[in-house]
Amino acid sequence: MKEFDKDKLQKDSLEIRKTILELAYSSGGGQHLGGGMSMVEIMSYLYGFKLNLQPGFTHSEKRDRFILSKGHGVLGFYPVLNRYGFISDQLLKTYKTQGSELISHPIKNLNNAIESSNGSLGHGLSYGLGIALGLKKLQIESRVYVLVGDGECNEGSIWEAAMSGSELNLDNLTCIVDNNHFQSDGPTKEIMNCNSLFNKWKAFGWEVVSIDGHNFDEIHAAFSLKNKKPKLILASTIKGKGVDFMENDNAWHHGRLTETLYKNAINSLEK
């Protein structure tokens, strides 16, 4: 069993953010940086501690499954897979190059520990719910974790899955909302206000806990809570977390790093 080592996870998160910036800069063009940076601590916790998933055993029937529903968040996903031994340095360097397996949205490939292909928002929770139901029917004691965005919760398919999850008593299913308060077109409160997400998920029959999505103590406590119904972790995060000029600036939902901006971003992380 892995040991919960907060200091290590914090160091991992810093290195992951550096890798995110390196990938974004080296591959050129616009990148979904803000939403990749906001999810780092959640991802570090899952792959560095929580998931029953090991390199070399990514096809195991007994593995835990992680679904990245907010598929544009791959910059917060591929470096995590690399950090914890699921994809090689060589493969990571091919990101967004001609013929690469690693593009700007995930493509299902269990050899790379990628459980699902995702681009269109709103589908990952239904996909994960189906897997969780199948595991129940096969009496396999594995868990399914799905990461969605707060803006993604505007999608009706999210709420169809939420209703089904509680009706089916899927206590092996956990959904995490990366609640960074922005979506592509601006602040979520100005588009479809997400302030009532806690009460909405609770009304749909889920066990809901609200946390600071960058605080490992709160993350660990939330994931450790025993539940008899599907669990929703509402993680308040900062879009662009770690880089001072990116934080809460929605221009970095999809922005381009110049050489100067890249150096400034690395310096900001290292302060």
In-domain check, residue 63: yes
In-domain check, residue 238: yes
Nearest residue to 135 (alpha-carbon basis) of 60, 212, 194, 203: 60
**Could you give the 3-state DSSP secondary structure of residue 221?**
helix
Nearest residue to 175 (alpha-carbon basis) of 199, 220, 143: 143
* pLDDT at residue 139, as a whole number: 97
In-domain check, residue 1: no
Domain of residue 120, CATH code: 3.40.50.970
- Burial string for 231-258 (b: 16+ CB within 10 Å, else e) reads bbbbbbbbbbbbbeebbeebebbbbebe
* pLDDT at residue 194, as a whole number: 76
Longest dimension (CA), the chain: 54
* pLDDT at residue 184, as a whole number: 87
In-domain check, residue 99: yes
CB 144 within 8 A of CB 67: yes
How far is residue 95's CA from residue 20's CA, in Å, rounded to a whole number?
11
Residue 25, both tokens: 């800069």
Q: Which domain holds residue 203?
A: 6-269
Residue 184, both tokens: 């592509």
How far is residue 171's CA from residue 228's CA, in Å, rounded to a whole number?
5
In-domain check, residue 47: yes
For residue 230, CA distances in Å to 175, 176, 234 come to 8, 11, 13
For residue 271, which amino acid is it? K
**Of how many residues is the chain composed?**
271
Per-residue pLDDT of the chain (271 residues; tens, 9 = 90+): 688 999 999 999 999 999 999 999 999 999 999 999 999 999 999 999 999 999 999 999 999 999 999 999 999 999 999 999 999 999 999 999 999 999 999 999 999 999 999 988 999 999 999 999 999 999 999 999 999 999 999 999 999 999 999 999 999 999 999 999 999 888 898 888 878 999 999 999 999 999 999 999 999 999 999 999 999 999 999 999 999 999 999 999 999 999 999 999 999 998 8
* pLDDT at residue 240, as a whole number: 97
* pLDDT at residue 143, as a whole number: 98
The residue with tokens 């709160």 is 218
Query: What is the tally of structural domains in the chain?
Result: 1
Quote the pTM value: 0.97
How far is residue 188's CA from residue 180's CA, in Å, rounded to a whole number?
9
* pLDDT at residue 16, as a whole number: 98
In-domain check, residue 175: yes
